[in-house]
Amino acid sequence: MLNKKVEKALIGQIELEEQSSRIYMAMASWCEVKGFPGAASFLYKHSDEERFHMTKLIKYVNDKGGHAQLHQLAMPKNDYKSLLEIFEEILKHEQFVTESINKLYDVAFKEKDFSTGQFLQWYIQEQIEEESLAKGILDKFRLAGNEKVGLFHLDKELAGLASTSSQGA
Ligand code: OFO
């Protein structure tokens, strides 16, 4: 049976992953209407991957005898000043998710729930990859500058990243 404190913390993480999926979906939609098809594909894929993170947690909670109930979600931000702002927010958001995973790991550890600790290793690794991906993209922004040509090439690169299976988002 799943420890109640651990279950509550896991359900909080499910909510955050679901919210992440909505945030990236809203970003993808903004990119699509603003003429950044590559960034839109990248973010649609990112949104799907967050949904996968959520589902993986739901199945874990239920398999362990808990009940992964869903909560109401906040409305995501729908308007952005620029593509750069989107990727700055992604990095901040992923750093926040990393903190949340670390706190969750701490709850499992304190409750001596080592199987949940083991399960969370996957998320810890995933966050390392996500932060590094977001930082890498921000570095490319610095190189591209705010010129239309630079953004055009960056958008093409994001399209390429969206088509590789190892996005890690
Ligand atoms: Fe983008 O993070 Fe989920 O876990």
Which helix (DSSP H) or strand (DSSP E) does residue 143 occupy? helix 114-144
Return the domain boundaries, the chain. 4-164
- Ligand 1, residues 47, 126, 132, 133: which to mutate, most atoms within 8 A of Cβ? 126
- Close Cβ partners of 158 (under 8 Å, ≥ 6 residues apart): 36, 38, 39, 41, 42, 137
Q: Mark 38-75 as b/e (b = at least 16 C-beta within 10 Å).
A: bbbbbbbbbbebbbebbeebbebbeebebebeeeeeee
Measured from the Cα of 101, ligand 1's closest atom is 4
Q: Is the pLDDT of residue 12 over 70?
A: yes
pLDDT at 168 over 80: no
121 close to 98: Cβ distance less than 8 angstroms: no
Going by C-beta distance under 8 Å and a sequence separation of 6 or more, which residues neighbour residue 15? 70, 71, 73
Residue 130 CA: nearest ligand 1 atom is: 1
Class in CATH terms, 4-164: mainly alpha
Angle formed at CA 98 by CA 96 and CA 103, multiple of 5 degrees? 95
Q: pTM of the entire structure?
A: 0.93
Give residue 143's pLDDT band: very low, low, confident or very high (50, 70, 90). confident
Q: What pLDDT is attached to residue 169?
A: 47
Q: What is the pLDDT of residue 43?
A: 97
Q: Which two tokens stand for residue 106?
A: 């701490």
**141, 21 contact by CB (below 8 A):** no
17 in contact with ligand 1, CB cutoff 6 A: yes
- The confidence band for 144, taking pLDDT boundaries of 50, 70 and 90, is confident
Summary mean pLDDT of the chain: 94
CA distance 85 to 103: 27
In this predicted structure, the answer to whether residue 167 has a pLDDT above a threshold of 50 is no
**Distance from C-alpha of 10 to C-alpha of 25, rounded to nearest angstrom:** 23
pLDDT tens sequence across 36-74: 999 999 999 999 999 999 999 999 999 999 999 999 999
C-alpha 149 – ligand 1 centre gap (Å): 31
Q: Is 15 in the pocket of ligand 1 (CB under 6 A)?
A: no
Q: Mean pLDDT throughout 92-116? A: 98
* Rounded Cα distance, 156 and 130, in Å: 20
- Centre of ligand 1 from the C-alpha of residue 141, in Å: 22
CA of 93, closest atom in ligand 1:
1
